[in-house]
Structure 1
Amino acid sequence: MLKLRWPKLLALLFAAAFMLVVAVRLNIEQMFLMSGVLVAVPIVAAAVGWVSLMRVAVHRDAPDACVERDVISIRLATRGSGWSARAVLSAQDTMPQGLETRSVTPSANGTVGTVHHVVARRRGVYSLGPVLVSATDPLGISTFRRTSPLPHRLVVYPFPEPPPADSAGSADGMAAQDGEATGRRGDSVEFHSTREYRDGDELRRIHWPSTARHRRLIVVERQEAADEALMIALDLAHGTEYGAPPNTTLDLACRYAAWAATQALRRASAVGLIAKGAVDLSLPPDRSETQLARIMDRLAHAHADGPMPLSQVLRGVMATGSSASAVLFITALPDDELLSVLHRMAGPGRRSEGIVFADDWRSGGRRASSFAERARSAGIPVHLVPKPSDPEPTRRRPS
């Protein structure tokens, strides 16, 4: 794409025309030559600008993942030789909806390029690009532009955020209770593994031969009960997402799920995910160090496009014989069948708890409040989340 600066071009053409008239009237050969040179100047300058653009390559340096509301730096650097690299006026990246460019500054490391400071407004998987590269000729008469695809995949994880004050006991409380159950880890008879000593470990669990061999405190872990796990169930049925991005009910549900998973894993509790949309994003319970990263990645990919309501999904989980000791379900559209399934899932050593988005997220009806009342009367804690008045809640660090 070519963009001309007409004032400069017209000035040169006017000067060339004036010299041509003078040359004809006075019959001065040198004036003919000067007139021809002035006409050739914009053509040669345009050719130089086009060649400079073709000789320039663009490189993007961007992270592969970040968390919602993080400010990340995306660097665009141009590579060329000599003046052709300096001829680049700008390298402008294209940001998809959900990523907001806060500012653009020149590169400070001596290279020709720009740094885009971008705020990740919403969780999701984004494809960056294309990059618009602009180069000008030495006289500034013409500017050439071209696009470089430079595809780059950026995954934005949901920010682990606790539910509002009136429902904070749900996710955090569920994780705490499950953590207390798994807090008995190390007291059973069967040997499991050894690991380094952590603050709070009992001294009687120190394995002295390993401690002497490694010259640091090593403790013994025992095999814990297999059914001590928290399953987080997200409702990904089509038509169950309300509100405006980046704070839809599904966006908030993913943040609450990330918070619950973070708290449970910090207490050494196994955590799994039930999330069946058009693609099954479910994960079996695990307490390994990589489980949180897997859960966050699945939550970033979550969309409300599933063919089945949450009640039907949980019924299928029951059929597989899931041994989770706790289920935290999060939904914006509860139904009577969900309550029936939760009753069937109840049993010795098993408990369910829910986060339900209140009726003010939808127009008309008391579906959520009625469900919460009936669930509470049946001994299932359900916490209603009202629609927030602040579109951008204050960022809080998990404690």
Structure 2
Amino acid sequence: MKRNLSEFLSKITDRIMAVGNYDYCPWANKYVYWLKQPIGWFVLAAIASAVIGLFAVPQGWFVCGVVSLVTALGVAWPWLAMRGLTAEIEFDRRRCREQDSIQVTLVVTNRWPWAVWGLLVERGFFESAGEIQSETATTALASVSGWSKTQFTFEYVPPRRGVYPLQAPLLGTGFPFGLWQAHQPIALNEQLIVWPRCVDLKSLPLLQGERLSAVGAFVDRAGHDGDILSARDYREGDSLRRIHWTQTARRDRLIVCERQTASRQMIVVTLDPWAFADQTPQDRILLDWGLRTVASLCQEFHGHACDLSCELNDERQAVPAATAAIQQINDRLARYTPLPAAPKGSITVSTGDRAQMTLFVTTVAGWERLGRSSWLGEIASFHVIVLDPGSTPQNHGQTPPYDFNRAETPQSAVRSTKPWMWIDISEDTSQQLRHQWERQCHDNWSVN
């Protein structure tokens, strides 16, 4: 009984709040939004008291003078205080990933002989759901002593990938009354590049590389590295270190061990350039997970010395085995901006020249556009990873695993209607990506 009454009262309260907060006159917002600032009400009070003093009682002039004096002091003091301040900000490192804790150092120089109180660092570190940057304060400072150079250190956790600050940060104060805030730009020594967060993938599909290399994954071809494949008769030029002495003694002739060789697989990781064009909050979440998926795949293939290329906005960039190469890709992902508009109808996708695997990251809408392409079921090396905001298609979990290197089979018709991986980002996205990736890699090794 009490529970039902509590739910009923909660619904009534929610309805009353909805009615009270409904915008009945949106056209008038630009005329009355100035009243959201405290100084607006003080100006209105000064005008009202002046009208009262003019047409009613003379005491209104006294009220008008007091309100005007407080308003003038509330505007002049912050403005004057900020004229004597300079500030600069720096980060403890140049690059990091999402949700990493960064140490930020703020140095404020006060040229006035008196202390300045109530300082705030605003703008550039947080963003709202809309296009306008939120004014959430990054940190607050109690005071800065007169004729001093003060250093402040605080921790900052970047909420998403990007280049921070997102816009020029400001040092502001509204002391003593908070009627109006004066601001001073903060000098920035260098920007912070925040990479997309990576999901730790611990598997790799079995791909036979076509390019022999000094570094790469070991394949079952005759070479000088890796595990032992077999034993054979000694040939002139073979290293004496590879002699199998047991077999040599048994056969009474020189027998050497045949080892594996290293090769590099050609991989192309592509982010659908047309699937993340919108800028709604849900689309930004999809874009972030698309970039995290691309970053995770690139990190995994790069760690196994594959011949990797990453394609963003139809611009392909090779990723050599050097550490600087993966940093450049992560920098591109941090700065990535999707194309402004998506094409109508079907789309054409580059699958990479001689690529053994093309991984294409897209959304449900992008998958539907791909479904209109007749070539999708004909390319065995093309694999689609679909990011779903929450509506899971029927029977997508029963998608049959198929071989990465298989030739054309009757299952090719299934490929045109089933993606390789389908990830619901409304749940544990990292776990889904890791689980489905390891399942596909396991199935591929089992087949081979």
What's the TM-score bracket when you normalise by the shorter of the two chains?
A: 0.5 to 0.7
Q: Secondary structure at the match of 1:354?
A: strand
Aligned counterparts, 1:165-314, within 5 A: 173=203, 175-178=204-207, 182-184=216-218, 228-238=265-275, 244-245=281-282, 248-276=285-313, 280-300=314-334, 301-303=336-338, 305=340, 307=342, 311-314=347-350
Output the TM-score relative to the length of structure 1.
0.57
In structure 2, distance between residues paired with 1:142 and 1:358: 46
Aligned to 2:169: 130
Change (3 A) 1:144 1:374: closer
Query: Structure 1's 125 and 142: CA in aligned 2 closer, same or farther, altered over 3 A?
Result: closer
> In the alignment, is the contact (CA less than 8 A) between 1:273 and 1:285 conserved in 2?
yes
Aligned equivalent of 1:146, options 164, 183, 188? 183
1:343 to 2:378 alignment: yes
| 8 Å Cα contact 1:128/1:154 also seen in 2 | no
Q: Distance in 1 between matches of 2:157 and 2:429?
A: 13
2:132 counterpart of 1:93? no
The answer to whether the Cα contact below 8 Å between 1:361 and 1:386 also exists between their aligned partners in 2 is no
RMSD: 5.3
User: Matches of residues 9-24 of structure 1 in structure 2 within 5 Å?
Assistant: none
Superimposed CA distance per residue, residues 188-220 of structure 1 (whole angstroms, 9 cap, x where no aligned partner): 879xxxxxxxxxxxxx79xxxxxxxxxxxxxxx
Q: 1:148 offset after TM fit, Å? A: 1.5
Residue identity opposite 1:353 in structure 2: H
Amino acid at match of 1:57: T
Task: Tell me the amino acid that sits aligned with residue 361 of structure 2.
Answer: I
What is aligned with 1:26?
none
SS in 1 for 2:424: coil
The 5 A counterparts of 1:22-41 are none
Distance across 1 between alignment mates of 2:389 and 2:329: 28
TM-score, normalization by structure 2: 0.51
Alpha-carbon spacing, 1:93–1:392, altered in 2? closer, same or farther (3 Å): farther
C-alpha distance 356-135 of structure 1, shift in aligned 2 (>3 A): closer
Following superposition, the deviation at residue 79 of structure 1 comes to 1.1
The change in CA–CA distance for 1:172 and 1:299 in structure 2 (over 3 A counts) is farther
1:80 aligns with 2:110: yes
- 2:158 aligns with 120
Residue 132 of structure 1, CA deviation? 3.2
CA drift at 1:47: 7.7
Deviation, structure 1 residue 287: 2.1
What secondary structure sits across from 1:248 in the alignment? helix
- From the superposition, tell whether residues 387 and 158 of structure 1 become closer, same or farther in structure 2 (CA, over 3 Å): same
Shift of 1:330: 1.6
Tell me if 1:357 matches 2:368.
no
Aligned residues: 305
1:247 deviation in Å? 6.9
Opposite residue 384 of structure 2, the aligned amino acid is: G
Q: What's the secondary structure of 1:69's corresponding residue?
A: coil
Report how far residue 298 of structure 1 moved.
2.1
Relative to 1, partners in 2 of residues 1:82 and 1:234: Cα closer, same or farther, differing over 3 Å?
same
Tell whether the 8 Å contact from 2:117 to 2:144 is kept in structure 1 after alignment: no
Deviation by residue 1:306-356 (Cα, 9 ceiling, x = unmatched): 6558951326x4xxxx13222122221222355614624x4xxxx343322
Residues 233/245 of structure 1: CA separation in 2 closer, same or farther (3 Å cut): same
Deviations 1:25-51 (A, max 9, x none): xxxxxxxxxxxxxxx9x9999988755
Q: Is the 8 A contact 1:123 1:157 kept in 2?
A: yes
- Structure 1 residues 261 and 286: CA distance shift in structure 2, 3 A: same
2:193 is matched with which residue: 136, 155, 158? 155
| Residues 1:172 and 1:242: Cα distance change in structure 2 (over 3 Å) | farther
Deviation track 1:103-152 (CA, whole Å, cap 9, x = no partner) reads 73659999536545333222234523331322768xx9998722316467
Q: What is the CA distance between 1:238 and its match in structure 2?
A: 4.7
1:61 corresponding residue in structure 2: 90
SS of equivalent to 1:128 = coil
Please give the alpha-carbon distance, in whole angstroms, between the structure 2 residues aligned to 1:243 and 1:272. Answer: 29
In the alignment, the residues of structure 1 paired with residue 375 and residue 80 of structure 2 have an alpha-carbon distance, to the nearest angstrom, of 71
Whole-angstrom CA distance in 1 between matches of 2:86 and 2:173:
12
Per-residue deviation, residues 216-269 of structure 1 (Å, max 9, x unmatched)? xxxxxx9965x6221112112156779845973332222122111111122222
Q: Secondary structure at the match of 2:172?
A: strand
Q: For the structure 1 residues 352 and 112, does the alpha-carbon distance in structure 2 shift closer, same or farther, using more than 3 Å as the test?
A: same
CA distance in 1, matches of 2:390, 2:73: 66
Equivalent pair of 2:282/2:389 in contact (CA under 8 Å): no
Look up the SS of the partner of 1:297 in the other structure: helix
Q: Deviations over 1:281-306 (max 9, x none)?
A: 43124222222112212222142546
Equivalents in 2 of 1:246, 1:142: separation in Å?
38
Q: Which amino acid aligns with 1:355?
A: I
Q: Percent identity?
A: 15
Q: Which residue of 1 aligns with 2:21?
A: none
Deviations 1:74-119 (A, max 9, x none): 33321134635x3253132213348997973659999536545333
Which position in structure 1 is the counterpart of 2:355? 324
8 Å contact kept, 1:231–1:271: yes
In structure 1, C-alpha distance between the alignment counterparts of 2:303 and 2:153, rounded to whole Å:
36
Counterpart residue identity of residue 83, structure 2: M
Cα pair distance change 1:48/1:160, threshold 3 Å: closer
CA distance in 1, matches of 2:128, 2:179: 32
